[in-house]
Structure 1
Amino acid sequence: MGYAGRCACGAVEVRIDGEALGVRQCWCRRCRKIAAGGPTHNAIFLTADIWIDGVTASDSYVADSGNTLTRSHCPACGTPILGGSSARPQMRVVRLGILDDPHGLKPTMAIWASEAPDWAIIDPAIETFPAQPPIPPQS
């Protein structure tokens, strides 16, 4: 199965020719800033399976782990596209909002729950980690 989508203005197209290694919601403070206060919703894919057409912009920062994290978005409309870590160049996290519906992906894990605001509602049926979880297995 594959996935496809476009940013809100249609300038950036994404196609993924592979299956998600995991689907997570992230409650870290940085993710909440780009997601208007709530968590980001992300599917992890192998970098080699992701194709992007269109101009993207990115920003990078050094995380508490010491790894450089890079986030990409559409420079025209601001739609978040994906993120990556210098520690795992073979993987990228694709923001679920860029994908066309229905894509069938839903979070099975909440991460950085220790940074969630007190009003956050985290589904008790999904696995929850206070910080960064283990790296997903690569199929």
Structure 2
Amino acid sequence: MGYTGRCSCGAVELRIDAEPIAVRQCWCRRCQKIAAGGPTNNAIFRTADIIIDGPTASHDYVADSGNTLTRTHCPACGTPILGGSSARPQMRVVRLGVLDQGHELKPTMAIWTSEAPGWAVLDPAIEQFPAQPPAPPAPQS
């Protein structure tokens, strides 16, 4: 199985020839800013399994953990594409919104719930972490 996706304007396309390592919802304040106040919904894949075609732009910042995080987006329309951490260069976090319809991926975990606004609706059926959870298992090459 694989996944395809594209940004809102179609300038950036991606293909992923693998299944995700994990699918998470993130309520950290930085994710709320790029998701218009809600959480980001993300699938974690091996970096080597992601192929991106088209121009991208990125923004780096230092997280509370001390790691450098990179957010990649389309420079033309601003659609968030993926994120990465200096602590885990072998993995990338793909935004579910960039994937084409029909992917059926859904979060099994909500993270940084301590930063969720009071009106947030958290699914009680999924695992929840008030801050950063343990890293998913390292992907096999």
The residue that corresponds to 2:84 in the other structure is 84
User: Which 4+ runs in 1 deviate beyond 3 A?
Assistant: none
Q: 1:112 is matched by which residue type in structure 2?
A: W
The residue that corresponds to 1:74 in the other structure is 74
Deviation of 1:104 after TM superposition, in Å, equals 1.2
Q: 1:62 is matched by which residue type in structure 2?
A: V
The residue that corresponds to 1:43 in the other structure is 43
Task: Give distance in 2, aligned partners of 1:50 and 1:5.
Answer: 11
CA deviations 1:37-69 (Å, max 9, x no partner) are 000000000000000000000000000100000
Task: Determine if the alignment matches structure 1 residue 61 to structure 2 residue 61.
Answer: yes
Q: 2:10 is matched by which residue type in structure 1?
A: G
What's the C-alpha RMSD, in Å, of the aligned pairs?
A: 0.6
Give unmatched runs, 5+ long, in structure 2.
none
Task: Give distance in 2, aligned partners of 1:86 and 1:120.
Answer: 29
Task: Give distance in 2, aligned partners of 1:70 and 1:5.
Answer: 19
User: What TM-score, normalized to structure 2?
Assistant: 0.97
Q: Give the share of equivalent positions with the same residue, in percent.
A: 81
Deviation of 1:93 after TM superposition, in Å, equals 0.2
Count of residues in Structure 1 that have an aligned counterpart in Structure 2: 139
Task: Determine if the alignment matches structure 1 residue 7 to structure 2 residue 11.
Answer: no
Task: Give distance in 2, aligned partners of 1:11 and 1:120.
Answer: 33
The residue that corresponds to 1:127 in the other structure is 127
Give unmatched runs, 5+ long, in structure 1.
none
Task: Give distance in 1, aligned partners of 2:45 and 2:104.
Answer: 15
